[in-house]
Each structure stands twice: as structure tokens, then as C-alpha cells.
Structure 1
Amino acid sequence: MIFLKSFHLLPEMEEYWMICQKKNIFNSLYPLKIFPEKEFEDIDFETITIFYGGNGSGKTTLLNIIADKLEALRKNHNKLGELFDRYVLQCDYELYHKEICNEIKFISSDDVFDYLLDLRAINFNVNRRKDELSEEYLKSKYDKNIDETLEQYEILKRKTDARKMTQSKYIRSRLVNNNLIQQSNGESAIDFWQKEIQEKAIYLIDEPENSLSAENQLKLKHFIEESARFYDCQFIISTHSPFLLSLEYAKIYDLDSVPVKSRKWTELPNVRTYYQFFKEKEEEFMNSSEN
């Protein structure tokens, strides 16, 4: 489903007047003088829209402008400056079916890393708690000097349980989180996306391929395609991953071109570089498959 139909960046003349009024109030011109130089002003969206470009092309800036204008939910909000806020204020957009749009959310690669760090912290605490319970079990079972008065009910209960249970069962029964999270970072990252995405929503996603292997990038590609098709989600993505650039029916804006224009994923320089590299190595792959 298409919720966000179009977005209009500031034309060059409006940026010029902002620069004239700038005086010495602001330390930088960011985000001015990025998109007029690319002759990029009006953006039309499809169910999946991709901003492609190298570092410094403005694709993350563009996502932030759109996210701020739409007041998108986000876990981490970086203050980008008063001039940035003034720029966003003067942008315009067309949003359809607002009454059935469940949420508008901005998701960055940092959000995925934070999630992975949280899982690592959970694993660390589970391991530490297991060590503590193991020591508690052995002490409760074999230390005969423990005071067994009624006032020491908890100690007595632990000792009784220790005598009836194996060490592993004793530990499991006392852990709130019984299991370590034993997935790889890539598998956990896929879980992150599955938990974040709900039906009938807009998602602005900045370089989701970070931390994902090629195999898991393909899994994410299929997940996004299915979410767009079956759950009526709209995705606006910045990426240079050839796997995500191949998202079915995606509209791709090449921010490295002047003027910025829509291209097929097979026409993009980054993808062509991969293609040429593997084509040159084709014989090696053929020999490897024969063996």
C-alpha cells in the first residue's frame, strides 16, 4: 500500500533565501546545498522506494528529513541543528489513508546494533546468574554448617531443593530467563526486523544490510517483499546492498546521478561492479562446482 505518495524538498530559491537570512546564527549550512546541486526536488513513492548512493550522497540525510517531517517514531533521535529543523518545517508532502496507518517509524542500523548489544548483555547476565546458582546449589547440598532455624526458611528451602534436584534442574528452576540466546548476530538481526514490523505502516530504514551476511540479506529482502505484499506496509530504504536493491517492484532513486533519476537495479554502478567481478571469476566457480 502507498501511504506516502510524494515529498517535496526545498527548491533552490528557498534555500538561497535561507542562506541570506542565516547571518551568523548557524555554524553550518547543513542540509542546504545538497539536493539543488543534484536537481532533486520532487520525490514520488511506490510501495517500496530506495535511495541509492555512495557515502556523502545524501541518502541518510534525505531519510532524516522525511522522518522528521512525518514525525516518525524512532529509538534514537540525533539533534541535527536548528537550520535542519527550519528546512524540514518548509518541506511538504502528500500522505494518503492516514486514518488506517498504524505507525510511521524510522529505523537505523544503530537500532539493530543496540538490539544485538542488549541480547549480549542478557546472555552475560544469564551466565553470571548460572554461576551464582551453581555455587548456591553446592553450598546448600554439602555445607552442614548452614543454620536451619525457621528464620532461615529460604536457606532451608534451597537446601531441601538441592537434595531433591540435580544441579541443572535446580539452576533452571531459579532462572527467570532459562535459556541463553544462541543465535548468531545475523539471525538475531532478522528477529529484530520481524519484531519491529507490523501491518499497515510506513518504515523508513537506513542501511538495514549492516551486520547481515549475504544469506541473511536475502532473507530480509524476502521478508520486506512479503510485508509489503501481505501486510500493506510501505518501505523507504537507503541502501547500496545489491540484494536489497533487487527488491521486487522497488523504485530506486540514484542519488549519485545529476540530475537524480530513477533507475533499474541492474543499471546501478555498484551492482555492475559486483556483476563484472563475478563474471570475470566465472570459470573458477565452474571448476569449483565440478569438483
Structure 2
Amino acid sequence: MIYLKNFQLLSEKEEYHLLLDEKRRIFNTIYPFHLFALDQPLNFEFEPITIFYGDNGCGKSTLLNIIALKLQAERKTTIDKGIYFKNYVSHCSYRLQNQDQLREIKMITSEDIFDYLIDIQAINSSVHRKKDELCEEFLNYKYQDSSNFIHDYEQLKNKVDANKKTMSAYVRDHLKTNNIISQSNGETALLFWEKEIQENAIYILDEPENSLSATNQLKLKKFIEDSVRFFNCQFIISTHSPFLLHLNHAIIYDLNDFCKKEWSQLDSIQTYYQFFKERKEEFEK
């Protein structure tokens, strides 16, 4: 499904006239002006999967932020790039289609994934601490005389409970939550994507491969492809991952050269290819 059909940035001339109207002396930066300034405005046509590729510093994340702000995308991490950024975005243009089916526009960054992993680790640590406390509590109730708790109904009830149960059963029943996530960070990150991605939506993803092994990147690749095929999602992605760069039926914009390219034409893919080609015999032993 295609919801966002195209998005147009400012030309060099348009940037110049816009900057003339600003009080430049007040601000220390005019970001993102001049980052995408060409004779003709950059006009991106979108497919169900559109990928922005390029070296660090080429503007991939900036472009995603421009698109997200213009589309008023929902996001977990708020940004404030300043008055110039907002002014630049206000002069960009875009075209949506199939809006009657579009339920959500959301931007998800690598920072969102890291925050999710940290939250899960904190929950797990809290649960582990509570388990230790309950083990100590179980032993205290089990081996003390009932007369010590005769005037406290709750403690007496716990004493009876400890006498009837094993330690593991006591801890399990007294723990408010037992939902410790035992997966690796990569597996937990995959759960994050399964939780966040819904049907009939646009998702703007900034380097979603972070925290994922090669195997899990391939799983994410299939998940994105299935979300497009079966759940009418559209994805706009910035990535360095050779696996995500090979998403089926994706269009790739190389921001190093401001042009469309095939997967096999990308500099990083050529580098991988040459590296493994020179070591081909090591895989054929």
C-alpha cells in the first residue's frame, strides 16, 4: 500500500529567499538549510518500501525528521530542532493518497529501541529483587512459630501459606508479576517491532537494525515485507544494513549522490561483495 506518494524539499533558490526573511544574526545555526540544496528541489517518489541510504552525515536522519514533522507523525522521542528547522519543514510539500484507510503515521528511532530494552532490563531487575525478598520471607514464615504471628492476620495467613507450599510455589503466587523476559536483546528488540507495527499505517524507521544480529535482521526484513504484503503498511527507512537494503520491491535513494540506485550498485554493498569475493576459498573448504 502507498499512502505517501511524494515529498518535495526546497531548491537552493527557495532556501535563499526563505533565509532572506529570517533574522539570521539571532541564531547560531541555520540547520537544515544547505543540506539538501540543489538547483532543482529534491522530489522523492515513494513505494510501499522506500529506503534512504548514505554515509554518516549525509542527512538520512534529518530527512526522516523533516518528513515526520511535516506529516505530524506520532513519535516517542520528541525533538526540537529550532525555528529554522520548523520554518524549513513548513515550506516542504507532499501528497497523500488512500487516506480513508490510513490509521496511523509513526516515527520510530534507534533511541526508542534502546529505551525499550533498558525498560525491560529494569523490570527484570525489579522482579529478580522481589523474588529474592520473597524467598527470604518464605523461610522466615516457614521456620518461625505460629504464635509469633497470632495477632497479625496477614502474617498468620502467610505463615499457613508457607507451611503448605514449596518455596517456588510461594514465590510464584505472591509475586504480582512473573513476566521476566528471558530473551536476548536482539530477540526482545524483535518483540518491540511486533508490538509497535499495526496495520494500515505509515512507519518511518531510523536505523531499525540496531541491536539486531544478522539473523534477527533477516527476521525483521521478513516481518517488514509481510507487514507490507498482508497488513497494508508503508515503510520509509534509513539503514546501513545490507539485509534491509535488500527488502523486496523497495526503492532506494542514495543520499550521497541524490539519486535512485539498485541494491547491488551501493558503495557499501560493493565493499561487502569485494571483501567476501577475495575470501571465497575460505567458504569452500
Alignment TM class, shorter chain as reference: over 0.9
Deviation at 1:146, TM superposition (A): 6.0
1:65 aligned onto 2:66: yes
Task: Name 1:185's counterpart in structure 2.
Answer: 185
Unmatched 5+ stretches in structure 1:
none
Alpha-carbon distance in structure 1 between the residues aligned to 2:118 and 2:39: 38
Deviation at 1:40, TM superposition (A): 5.4
Structure-1-length-normalised TM-score: 0.95
Alpha-carbon distance in structure 2 between the residues aligned to 1:276 and 1:206: 27
Alpha-carbon distance in structure 2 between the residues aligned to 1:146 and 1:231: 63
Alignment partner of 2:149: what SS? Answer: coil
Is the CA contact (8 Å cut-off) linking 1:38 and 1:255 kept in structure 2? no
Alignment size in residue pairs: 284
Task: Name 2:35's counterpart in structure 1.
Answer: 34
How many percent of aligned residue pairs carry the same amino acid?
56
Letter in 1 for 2:44: I
Task: Name 2:109's counterpart in structure 1.
Answer: 108
Deviation at 1:156, TM superposition (A): 0.4
Deviations 1:97-147 (A, max 9, x none): 212211000000000001100110011001000011001100011122763
Alignment partner of 1:36: what SS? Answer: coil
The residue correspondences of 1:19-98 to structure 2 (distance < 5 A) are: 19-22=19-22, 23-37=24-38, 41-98=42-99
Deviations 1:154-201 (A, max 9, x none): 100100000000000000001122142110000000110011000000
Alpha-carbon distance in structure 1 between the residues aligned to 2:251 and 2:121: 37
Change (3 A) 1:140 1:83: same
Alignment partner of 1:132: what SS? Answer: helix
Alpha-carbon distance in structure 2 between the residues aligned to 1:174 and 1:102: 41
Deviations 1:234-267 (A, max 9, x none): 000001110000000100000011xx11110111
Letter in 2 for 1:74: R
Deviation at 1:10, TM superposition (A): 1.2
Deviation at 1:92, TM superposition (A): 0.8
Is the CA contact (8 Å cut-off) linking 1:7 and 1:94 kept in structure 2? yes
Is the CA contact (8 Å cut-off) linking 2:146 and 2:156 kept in structure 1? no
Task: Name 1:284's counterpart in structure 2.
Answer: 282
Structure-2-length-normalised TM-score: 0.97
Superposed CA RMSD in Å reads 1.3
Alpha-carbon distance in structure 2 between the residues aligned to 1:262 and 1:75: 30
Alpha-carbon distance in structure 1 between the residues aligned to 2:268 and 2:149: 72
Change (3 A) 1:244 1:228: same
The residue correspondences of 1:105-254 to structure 2 (distance < 5 A) are: 105-144=106-145, 147-150=148-151, 152-254=152-254
Alpha-carbon distance in structure 2 between the residues aligned to 1:92 and 1:179: 46
Alignment partner of 1:194: what SS? Answer: helix
Moved more, 169-178 or 38-47: 38-47
Is the CA contact (8 Å cut-off) linking 1:199 and 1:233 kept in structure 2? yes
